[in-house]
Structure 1
């Protein structure tokens, strides 16, 4: 029954039958906020003797929007995938609303976290309806038939992202911005607490970059995303997390993180940071003549 659904990351997670029972972690046993949507303690991840992530400590408050920034290869995507339960073999602890990620089944993780990858190629010619429907799999039996409520959920999610009229179009025929909005709609009906997006503005023009981030931020979810555009990060994120060489260099608001000295050290280019003239964010300008990497 619609085997193509099984090819998405969400569906693949749901096919992994884990027998771990839900374990509630005593909040007094670890140092983390009681209202934390996500808490990471001393997270490290090594591949082929190469340490990708090094001693990451991070707390995200429920309802906040958090942007991971940093150079290519800094570890942003790897950290997002560890948080989303898509990477195995890491050291350290990850908690989702005071529950250990390791104690949750893949279905339970999918009920808490929606993950939107930067690569969205589909091997089959699926309709928009097919793609959005995948979000239902986190909260219903895999082979269950759709009912009228499911149909309404799909329609409502597409209406939310302004693409209800595209419901029966081929996903492959949509523009990059439209595809991202469809994936957000899929995440909405997944009913998660946390939405994770890996470089959601990649390859999009300026209009769609703002549209996607504005839409994601308006959702009643905790938002965590990676992005290269520092100005957009400062405009749409409550908290910035600057990552370099697998470590957190600094985290906090834009005033704290986006200093010229710190950015020059991380990106190896001289820069100027000033208040943005039209929004609460920062304007960051890099110049040639850096020290190189």
Structure 2
């Protein structure tokens, strides 16, 4: 039975990845959106300007999803496939990147600004075409790890609970993991748990980006050099790795003033070369797609190694 469960994990990951490639995210009634709504309702009861209140909020929200995942895991391959499809966002990420490049190439800044919130939480109203291209590319790099590599690896290690639990952790971080007046303390636990959950996946993403750099005209050595030199400058222990390795692979420069709705941050320079263009954004999408496929292969190997042990 133990071998059968582990084998179903590998098969379910492959099927779920295929579903994401074909169907992308459902535009309505997405389970992640439902979780977000439930977390907002929960926050009305748990919120306080206190770290321990945030710990309680994280424990209840994520713990509930882990419990649901444990029950759903009894569904075998089908449950794993559906959970994988639910947790992944790779196809939608690539599509949004292409759409952004198309709108920027057409000079449609209004349309590009309307699209940006689907990629990241920056304030699009203050960004010009170059700023929008950079914001989209940095989001593609970070979300390649968050939306595909991390859920696949957690699925390989912990099955359905790993897939759904990781998506809950990452969603809560996106909702409350901010350093603003309301969430500086309450969102602390969400941010720290997300950092821990992405520690290994971000570095797997960095390695895959370096290895696959020639697919977009880059060099593995340049990606690794940018990672070693620049990643630690970034305020995030994980985003710095994936953004620096992407910048090195593409031969571009990322970072600089970054405007969010809650305020501005001055991000460190990552990589060497010119600021990114829409052509670089399209290359980043191709890189992201390749890394996602590589992550699936790694996840299948991990699941099979665990099965044999």
TM norm structure 2: 0.27
Greater fraction of residues in strand: 1
Greater per-residue helix proportion: 2
What TM-score do you get using the length of structure 1 for normalisation? 0.28
